[in-house]
Copies of this chain bind each other. A is one copy, B any other.
Amino acid sequence: MAKKLLGIDLGGTTVKFGILTLEGEVQEKWAIDTNILEDGQHIVPEIIEAIKHRLDLYGLTAEDFAGIGMGSPGSVDIVNKTVTGAYNLNWAETQAVGQAIESALGIPFAIDNDANVAALGERWVGAGENNPDVVFVTLGTGVGGGIIADGNLIHGVGGAGGEIGHIIVEPETGFACTCGNLGCLETVASATGVVRVARHLAESYEGDSSIKAAIDNGDSVTSKDIFVAAANGDKFANSVVEKVSFYLGLATANISNILNPDSVVIGGGVSAAGEFLRSRVETYFNKYAFPQVRKTTKIKMAQLGNDAGIIGAASLARQFAK
């Protein structure tokens, strides 16, 4: 019988698991709460227990698996299979995740950064269509991403490859970013970034707008509210979407002028805006992409949603199936 892959998507709230075929088909999936108490010391033991329990339930053993892959927040050492500084897990110190899981389960294990792993998932069976050159941009609380170039995930010399959220898109008058720089893409294209752009544009906007009124009243406004209002014809909200699309189009064009990938895939919560956002980003992408890049690189929306994590994680374990 063909071996299976086990993918683990470790997040600050839940740990998601999936059992997949070698072709990337999800056969089973489940999730547990992430127990971050006591410096997150229960996380890895609870992951191991959850896997043992499910394998028993399905009548599977270690022999049935080619390998396990995991995506993790924090700084991941892919060689030593450790995680450091994953603060949303309360993991300040280095955790020997790989050693614990391999010795407890007897299955080969691989690990990478969560944004890289989501990129691998979308590239493998999602919008990337298994092309060797795919860039993934995720618009959520922050802006992250992953680069697959010539079939390889690009980590860079210091592990900071794919820091797409920190591309500078407004070098002279940009907003302050949590990284310490000014004008990063994350400051204008994350969920909070979209709202920040709205607050900034609201200062000089004259005209009727439910979004501007809410901002001026000090009411809570989300990026989703802005996209919904824009789709319903609110001119102010549309000007915000236009500005955000300009920044995303400029950044994706510059990434593509450097790498000429088959596609730039946009995912994450903000990407729920779908074609309404994609087509606007594409307009600016087309303005700023080199002609040969414009002809060959596509702007796509992600297809896998929350499953990108477990699918990408499982893809890390394909190396053991060879």
Contact = CB atoms under 8 A, between A and B. Distances in A.
A127 to B, nearest CB: 14
A168 B258 contact: no
B259 A156 contact: yes
A154 B150 contact: yes
Contacts of A152: 149-150, 152
Interface string A280-312: 000000011111110111000000000000000
A157 to B, nearest CB: 4
Contacts of A257: 160, 163-164, 166-168
Contacts of A250: 168, 171
Contact of A161 (B157, B184, B260): B260
A255 to B, nearest CB: 6
Interface in A252-291: 253-255, 257-262, 287-291
A156 B296 contact: yes
Interface in A43-102: none
Give chain A's interface residue range (CB within 8 Å of chain B).
Answer: 35 or more
Count of identical protomers in the assembly: 2
Contact of A293 (B163, B260, B297): B163
Given A167-B258, A168-B257, A260-B163, A288 B181 contact: yes
Given A158-B295, A158-B297, A168-B253, 8 more contacts: A133-B154, A133-B156, A149-B152, A159-B260, A160-B290, A167-B254, A180-B291, A181-B290
Interface of A: 131, 133, 147, 149-150, 152-164, 166-168, 171, 179-181, 184, 246, 250, 253-255, 257-262, 287-293, 295-297
19 contacts: A131-B157, A150-B153, A152-B152, A156-B260, A156-B296, A156-B297, A159-B260, A160-B257, A160-B260, A160-B293, A160-B296, A162-B258, A163-B260, A163-B292, A166-B257, A166-B293, A168-B257, A181-B288, A181-B291
